[in-house]
Chains A and B, each alone.
Chain A
């Protein structure tokens, strides 16, 4: 078990190195770890897993009902959805099958619904159906005026994206993968039969290479001499509303897609908040994860029409994520056999859902390029701490508190995070690299007061944990 944040990479030749510990890279490392005998490295530029796009999305476990039938994405989303739903159930990753409604607000949108229904059916969503205005209102009484009808897609769910990435990484590390954090790959050369990677922590040798660098997949691809695509960041800004807003919305409320993109949705989160977003802005700066006054104003205007009462609630957080658009609708996954190299690019807006299926697909591609794989084994299941409101949290469990009083000591009051959970996160297989990482593992400091009450205490606990050598 090795998670390192500094020092030169081990002086070994890895069989496979995965670049990028987002949800996709972590899933790939985990899948490879199921094959005994492989030495695997997962190299990540940031100080934690899931620090890129994977931490800032809308957290929906998609059915893929609106995917382009026949595309790779459509297949991997559909397969990935089922795989992740099963994996989440086994690992305790919170998922809530709330279902989605695509709400039509004008006649054009209403007219588009039957086509969307048949597309959904072609994508295997047999339970999808059309709803009239009255039924929509009955299901979502707080909707703004003017909803004419909706497409009901019962299979859509909400999920915790943070514990998903962390569960993959944890299982991978426990199965022997070296997780190298603060390890940016800046160059790729060759050393005989192996790739010689130049990283910010020193040289790293590997026979096979997987590029799961998200927004930077094009840069890494160029390091290997390919000029197949360019990643254009498409920013999505989002507003998180207070838990009091949760009662206002029962489903994921999707807009009817237009030529301009998927549009702004309103969705519950598994933490009991409500999300409003995202925007869609083409940028050229891959680090532009800031929010803007215009973006926030535009979201509030949309949100006001969809769910007027939402705007009266307090805002808990505002954030932005960057989708890795490549100017093509489908994923850009491909193998270069002679280079023992697989690119996993353009995993734009469905990568969380498809992650496990992408991992299986990439593993097959690696086998086809010559990587010898022993038969897969089942990994020891992980049990993730429950961050979801639909399941009992530690502070609600008399058995847990009786066994260990630290689960009765609430440190972050808004999110009801206990000292026991913070301790567990700090001493876990993959400990957080920053207070923000601790927040994604526990929700501590992620609530309505944003640290007014608990900020100093949480920072203290984090720093003490880091001192103990676990941070």
Chain B
């Protein structure tokens, strides 16, 4: 038998986004706010990022996670860990499993803050054998830093974006030498100082315009085959490979709810108030845009709390929306639904190529709504933002709004 319960707001996921949302709601006194997380410990991804770079003061991940948890609990939100949301029983009712038993929780509003993960080797269709020694950054960090497991002796890191350099640090702490960072892009996508440090101080070569095309080895990885853009191939001996970046939202619950998804982000489609197309269901954090820095998603959580609070008091839910669509080399934009009473915040975009001096053009049904020259270049795997002052010009009865790099 499932125990049945009712709360005012149920937040699924106790990462920075979910915790910030819960903290904001509990502080506003909206009633019973409960956050559940399937992990034994709350805090989300930062829990296993033992390095600095979180929050304003450059805290480590665990310190940051602890602060997020303390803020939520301090304002009166109820936090329950080891609780997995496994299914929907009704549009605002979920089923959960935990060691304390099975429950069915109904809420007035549900907030999905389920985060994102990196695509593993299989999803990237990298052929070859299936040896041990193949990681994503997330698994590597937990194995090396939380569980203190033996990793290997010599690694190749696939990717050269900020999280790839994080993997580099984790490997170094675990005593693993790094044979190379490999990126299919012509340049790395991290801060220049970070990349310079890896190359000069730690002697890690960066191989650009190169792809890992095969894993080799029986039982244990013995090497990877690389192909350069010009067709040259090479074999790099290593016993460990880390596939970094290539984030994908953990959208299982969103999808199982039948919520409208955005084809670019693959997360639920939301408007500026974090509303999905399912009445009473909000989504926030990396499930919307994998992946953004922890501070950015925590700020989002604070804004989402305000939106949820408004909904709980006025019950308004937009019935119509206009979709936002991007054209290559843009991969996605979030939020990606516009509704009439939207607060006009900022939009986050992602490009798949370097564009040195981008012009962003926003149109609807052939009509130009906005044209802007962002100050910084577009860099793959890095956020790129546009303010929302043009949203007032959108015809809410019109066709999709298109965003392109001109």
Contact = CB atoms under 8 A, between A and B. Distances in A.
Contacts of B118: 452
A409 B101 CA distance: 9
Interface residues of B, number: 39
Contacts of A186: none
B127 A295 contact: yes
Interface centre among A435, A448, A452 (most CB of B within 10 A): A452
A71 interface: no
Contacts of B135: 451, 455
A339 interface: no
A466 interface: no
Interface string A406-418: 1011100100100
A453 B214 CA distance: 24
B101 A293 contact: no
Interface stretch (A101-109, A253-261, A397-405, A422-430): A397-405
A451 B140 CA distance: 9
B86 A450 contact: no
A398 B101 contact: yes
Contact of B127 (A244, A290, A316, A406): A290
Contacts of B122: 240, 315-318, 450
A247 to B, nearest CB: 10
Interface string B106-127: 0000000000011111110101
B138 A408 contact: no
Interface centre among B121, B127, B132 (most CB of A within 10 A): B127
A312 to B, nearest CB: 9
A406 B84 CA distance: 14
A319 interface: yes
B255 A453 contact: no
Nearest to A313: B123
Interface in B17-38: 38
SS class, residues of chain A in contact with chain B: mixed
Contacts of B128: 290-291
A396 B97 contact: yes
A459 interface: yes
Interface in A276-296: 287, 289-293, 295-296
B372 interface: no
A111 interface: no
A462 to B, nearest CB: 11
B117 A292 contact: no
Contacts of B136: 449-452
A229 interface: no
A291 B213 CA distance: 11
B376 interface: no
Contacts of B125: 296, 315, 318
A289 to B, nearest CB: 7
B316 to A, nearest CB: 32
Contact of A319 (B82, B102, B120, B130): B130
A293 B213 contact: yes
B142 A410 contact: no
A435 B138 CA distance: 18
A193 interface: no
Nearest to A402: B101
A135 interface: no
Interface residues of A, number: 40
Given A396-B86, A416-B84, A410 B97 contact: yes
A416 B117 contact: no
A364 interface: no
Interface in B126-184: 127-130, 132, 135-136, 138-139, 142-143, 146-147, 149
A406 to B, nearest CB: 7
Interface in B198-234: 213-214, 218
A465 B213 CA distance: 35
Contacts of A244: 255
A329 interface: no
A395 interface: yes
A416 B86 contact: yes
Contacts of A460: 147, 149
A309 interface: no
A8 interface: no
Contacts of A290: 127-129, 214
Contact of A401 (B38, B101, B123, B129): B101
B84 A413 contact: yes
A408 B99 contact: yes
Nearest to A314: B123
B248 interface: yes
B93 to A, nearest CB: 16
Interface in B42-100: 82, 84, 86, 97-100
A301 interface: no
A389 interface: no
A453 B143 CA distance: 10
Contact of B138 (A295, A296, A406, A452): A452
Contacts of B84: 395, 410, 413, 416
A456 B146 contact: yes
A451 B99 contact: no
Contacts of B38: 410, 413
A235 to B, nearest CB: 12
Contacts of A395: 84, 86, 97
B1 interface: yes
A452 B1 CA distance: 32
B299 interface: no
A459 B143 contact: yes
B2 interface: yes
Contacts of B255: 244
Given A452-B136, A452-B138, A452-B139, 4 more contacts: A314-B123, A316-B123, A318-B122, A449-B117
20 contacts: A289-B130, A314-B123, A315-B122, A315-B123, A318-B122, A318-B125, A319-B130, A396-B86, A396-B102, A405-B100, A409-B98, A410-B84, A448-B123, A452-B118, A452-B136, A452-B139, A455-B142, A456-B139, A456-B146, A457-B147
Interface of B: 1-2, 38, 82, 84, 86, 97-102, 117-123, 125, 127-130, 132, 135-136, 138-139, 142-143, 146-147, 149, 213-214, 218, 248, 255
The 5 closest A-B pairs by CB, nearest first: A450-B120, A405-B99, A456-B142, A456-B143, A455-B139
